[in-house]
Amino acid sequence: MDNFPRSDLPRRALITGASRGIGRATAHALAQAGFDVALLGRSMDRLQPVVNDLAEYGVLAKGYAIELADIPQVQPRMVEIIQDFGAFSVLINNAGMGYTGSLATMPLHHWQQVMDLNLTSIFQCIQAALPSLRAGGGGTIVNISSIAAKSAFPDWGAYSVSKAGLVALSKVLAVEERANGIRVVMVTPGSVNTPLWDTDTVQANFDRSQMLTPEIVAQTILSTVLLPTYAVIEDIVLMPAGGAL
């Protein structure tokens, strides 16, 4: 029995936030499994080294610059990317930002920034991708959530709300698109040792050596994509053995 959802679907994937962290590790995992990959990120300078690294797997890898924080241009830019890259069967919405700050004092524009990047940009990516996935007979959309969507952590309010919104979006999308052969998967990791912890918008001091690695998350994503067509993992929670940090 073919492990891929459908043997006639192209092994081709679009990955946002692909220049580093989970996105980069996922690009490697999929390319090693024989997927052509479109790598999306803010900077071609950061994407190009990943594109070059993937050459060893003998697959097609192309980089595309896109500013997901600029909401009005996300959907039209995604349409351009899809037209250039061609048919695909997997969309992995990985790009996002971390943010720490009290709800009581958080500036409105910071709240909106988190919602735009972590939720609304994904909504726009999905809207751009659906016509191609439907026309191709189906596929898989993987949305990277967070344990913060399910548990309350002080000062992570905006981030938690954005990820909880992504959970709701994923559940509704799964029901709406099931008849079109499109599966929707939420991968919900606990703390992952990525560059998110080094950004100016995150002020946290955790033991990163105890966190999950991007490679572990990437292998989990790959496993969900390779499930046969009659099965779907709607939400997989992947935690560090030591629990939430």
Terminal CA-CA length for the chain: 40
pLDDT of residue 161: 94
Query: 240, 210 in Cβ contact below 8 A?
Result: yes
Ordered domains of the chain (ranges, CATH) = 12-238 (3.40.50.720)
Query: 183, 141 in Cβ contact below 8 A?
Result: yes
pLDDT of residue 5: 43
pLDDT in tens, 122-176: 999 999 999 999 999 999 999 999 888 888 887 878 989 999 999 999 999 999 9
**Spans of the chain below 50 pLDDT:** 1-5, 197
pLDDT of residue 193: 66
Task: Find the catalytic residue in 57, 64, 99, 159.
Answer: 159
pTM metric for this prediction: 0.90
Query: 138, 89 in Cβ contact below 8 A?
Result: yes
Q: Is 99 an active-site residue? A: no
The half-sphere exposure of 202 on its side-chain side, counting CA atoms within 13 A, is 15
pLDDT of residue 239: 82
pLDDT of residue 152: 81
C-alpha distances in Å from residue 236, one per residue of 108, 118, 147, 217, 245: 32, 19, 10, 10, 18
